[in-house]
Structure 1
C-alpha cells in the first residue's frame, strides 16, 4: 500500500507562480500537469521543472530538512523551492518513474537492491547532523516504537512507490511524513517493501531472506542491530495494519477508505507471514 504524503515548507518564495492555475515564466506560460500515483495525496501537479502540492503545518520543518540534506551533499531527495502564490509548496521535479509497480525489476538484482540500502544509510548519516527549526511540526502517522527520543528525523515511507529512477539518478520522494524516528524503524519498513516481505503468492519471493540480508549488509548494520531488526520487521508491518484498523474504527480518512479497499487485510496477512518466519530472517541476517 502506498501511504503518500506531501513535503514540507519553503526556504523562500518561488516568484512568478500561481497565475490563473498556471505558472508564468519569462518564456511564456507553463501548463500544470496533474501527477497521478499514491492513495493519500491530492492536488499534486508538475509545473515546468517543479512540483506543486498542498502545504501543511509540517511544511516548514520538512523543507528545512530537505535544505539540510542538499547542503550536506545528499542528492537523493527533492530540492525545496518555497511556496508559490497559491500557497502551495514548490519542490524540484525528480525526473523518471517510480519503481513500483511496473518497474520493480530495477531493484531485483542484488547489486541494485544494495544501492537502496546504501542510499538509506547515506540519508540517515546525512540527517544525523540536522537540527529541526524551533517549534517544528511533523506529520508522523505511525510513531516509532524505539525512537530514543528522536534518534534521527526519519522518512517513515522508504518504499519502491517513493523511489523515482531515471537512469543513474535515483531519488526518494514524498517526504511529507518525515519526523522523529529511528534508523531501524525506518529500515524495517524499507526491508518489508523492497524485498518485498509479502504473503501474496504473486509477490512472495523464495529469496526473501537473502534479499533482507543484502539490504542489511549494504546499510552496514552491526550484530546488535541485526538482532533487533529481525523481530521488528513484523511489528513494523503490524503498525501499518493497526493504523488502518484504527482509521476504520474511528472513521478517520484516508485510513478508513484504505481499510475498506482491502489494504488492512493485506497488511494483516503480511504481518502474520513475517512473524511466522522471524527465525528465517534472523538466521539470514546474522549468519
Structure 2
C-alpha cells in the first residue's frame, strides 16, 4: 500500500461539534467533491445508485449491523443525507491502529458481520448499482472497497468503527470482498514503506481469516483471489486511463496502476506462503 496511493473513494471525517446549519467540506479521496458535514449528517451528491444503496443501508441497520452510516433520505438540494460517522479515517495517518492482532481480528469480525447481515437483503425492484469492477460471484451485495481509507474509527478500545463510502456496493461474493480487504488491512504491499516481513504478513492474514471464520474450502479458494483481486485494480485503472476517464486517468498518471501491479506480483509470488499460513494446524 504505497504512500502515493490516495483513496479511490472516501472522505475524511472532521472531529468536533458542527452547527446544524454550517456546511463543513470533508476532504480526502478522489471522489469527494461536494461532500460536506452538516451537524450530525453528511451530505453528498446523489447518483443513480443512491436508492439501491440506501435500501441496502436500511437493511443492514435493521439486521443489527451498525458499522455503516444510516441513510436519511435526500435534502432540499437533492443530495443524499447520511448519519455522520464519528472519528477519523484510519488511512494514512492512523494505520498503526491496526497493528495489534486484536484490531485486525476486529476487522475480520466486522466484515463477517456485514456479510452475514447482507445475506438476507433483497434489492428493490429495478435496483441499479455503480459496478466498477465486475465480481465473478453474485451471492451478496458486496461493499467492493473495504479498506483502511474507508474505515472511520473513534479513539479507545470501545470506540465505534464505521465502514463508509458504500457508493460502489454491487452484486459480488464474500471472498472477492475479503480478498480486497486483506490487501489493504494487512497490507499485502510491495512498497518498502508498507511491506511487512513475509512471515508477519502471513500471520496477519491468518488472524484476519480466523476472525472472519472462513472454512477450509473458503481458505483454499481465497488464496488465488488475493492476487487476482489486486490485479483487477490495475486492469481497471489501465482501461479507464486509456478511455480518458477521470479521476482514474489521473491516478494512473500518478503511478497508482504501477503500485497495484507490483502488489499483485508480490502477492502472487507468495501464494504458497499464504496457503500454508491459512491451512496450518
CA distance in structure 1 between the partners assigned to 2:275 and 2:249 by the alignment: 34
Determine the C-alpha separation between the residues in 2 that align with 1:136 and 1:29.
32
User: Do residues 192 (structure 1) and 197 (structure 2) align?
Assistant: no
> Does residue 227 in structure 1 map to residue 232 in structure 2?
no
State how far apart, in whole Å, the 1-side matches of 2:248 and 2:218 are: 31
Aligned residue in 1 for 2:201: 208
Gaps of 5+ in 2: 12-18
Which residue is 1:135 aligned to? 126
Measure the CA separation in 2 of the matches of 1:208 and 1:96.
27
Contact kept? 2:10, 2:164, Cα under 8 Å:
no
Query: In structure 2, what is the equivalent of residue 274 of structure 1?
Result: 267
The CA deviation at 1:113 is: 0.4
Matched, 1:151 2:175: no
In structure 1, runs of 5+ residues without a counterpart are: 7-27
Q: Distance in 2 between matches of 1:65 and 1:32?
A: 26
Partners in 2 of 1:201 and 1:81 — Cα distance? 42
Structure 1 residues 1-287: aligned runs within 5 Å = 1=5, 2-4=7-9, 30-145=21-136, 147=137, 150-167=138-155, 168-206=159-197, 207-287=200-280
Tell me, yes or no, if the aligned pair for 1:4 and 1:174 is still in contact at 8 Å: yes
TM-score (norm 1): 0.90
* Contact 1:196 1:208 survives alignment (8 Å): yes
Moved over 4 A (4+): none
- Aligned partner of residue 205 in structure 1, secondary structure: coil
Is residue 5–residue 177 contact of structure 1 (8 Å, CA) maintained in 2?
Answer: no
Q: Scaled by the length of structure 2, what TM-score is found? A: 0.92
